[in-house]
Structure 1
Amino acid sequence: MAQRRSSLGFLGMFGRSSDLRQIDAALRGADLHPALVPEGVKLTIVNLMKDHWPDEPPSQAYPSVAQLCSYCIAGRETFEQANGQERMLEAERIEAALESGDSFDARVVLMTLHAKLIDAEVVDRYGLSAE
């Protein structure tokens, strides 16, 4: 079966694809306005999700991915203030992602690093570098 493509829309005539609408909603749910995340980054996120899940990414996966992305972009303190300690601890899985190597979470973290969206404190805390 051919995989469905993501669409940004065109001149208001064609709507955004459901995966991009879901990631926008999930980012809002993680207290990160979707306009702060470039469209190319959101497309990369949904494409990583499509690569990770053989069929369609499950709808419950979007909030988890958005939390990780929001944590990376906003930083620990800001994320915790907006989302609470419990959600901050859930999103703070970067160390486990890095230890596992080429995991889905590690790719999301690396994508925020390469896009230069990641908070400097997160980079320092986990010793991240793009070499």
Structure 2
Amino acid sequence: MVKRGSSIGFFGIFGRSEDMRRLDEALRRAGLHPAQVPEGVKLAAVGLMAGEEMQEPPPTAYPSVGELMAFCALGADLFAHENGEARLAAATRRVEAALEAGEGRDAEIILLMLHAKLIHPALGDHYDIRAESED
């Protein structure tokens, strides 16, 4: 995780870490209530943002990640309703580029959302996003 340590708080005694508050705010601004995303998923997203260098993500990184997570969870229609057509087009381009590349932070966030079962069914169908089981 991040050097200073991410924290989700504990019984209201200890506060949430700054990185978790920033991600919650980014999700909220993108139209997705933070309570709809499990804390473990948010912790993992912050870890992905920190990267291998384990550096604190800059404040400017959170809106982009929150927007992509919101797009994945809300689907195109609700995301467009909350954010407008221009942001929908930008999010759609990001998803398409990430799926084409198969790597990078956006691809990792999409994979995280998939494994957390937070990919909107219509997006999963449209982009054929699915996890293959090894049965």
Whether these two folds match at TM > 0.5 is yes
Which AA in structure 1 matches 2:84?
G
Matching residue of 2:122: 121
**Superposition TM-score, scaled by structure 1 size:** 0.93
Provide the aligned length of Structure 1 versus Structure 2: 130
Percentage of matched positions with identical amino acids = 52
Structure 1: how far apart are the matches of 2:45 and 2:59? 14
CA distance in 1, matches of 2:33, 2:73: 11
Deviation at 1:55, TM superposition (A): 2.4
How big is each residue's C-alpha offset from its partner over 1:5-39, in whole Å with a ceiling of 9 and x where there is no partner?
Answer: 10111122211000000000000100110011111
Q: State the secondary structure of the residue aligned to 2:102.
A: coil
Q: CA deviation at 1:58?
A: 1.3
| Root mean square deviation, CA, Å | 1.4
Q: What are the equivalent positions in structure 2 for 1:17-56 lying under 5 Å apart?
A: 17-51=17-51, 55-56=55-56
TM-score between both structures, scaled by the size of structure 2: 0.91
Contact 1:6 1:43 in 2 (8 A): yes
Q: CA offsets per residue over residues 25-79 of structure 1, 9 Å max, x none? A: 0001001100111111111111111116652211111111111100000000110
Alignment of 1:1-131 (within 5 A): 3-51=3-51, 55-92=55-92, 93-131=94-132
Q: 1:61 to 1:103 in 2, by over 3 A?
A: same
Q: Secondary structure at the match of 1:88?
A: helix
Structure 2 residue runs without a partner (length 5+): none
The answer for unaligned runs of 5 or more in structure 1 is: none
Q: Is the 8 A contact 1:27 1:33 kept in 2?
A: yes
Provide the C-alpha distance between the structure 2 equivalents of 1:31 and 1:78, rounded to a whole number of angstroms: 9
**Stretches (4+) displaced over 6 A:** none
Q: Residues 27, 53 of structure 1: CA spacing in aligned structure 2 closer, same or farther, 3 A cutoff?
A: farther
CA contact (8 A) 1:64 1:91 kept: no
**Retained in 1: the 8 A contact 2:68–2:91?**
yes
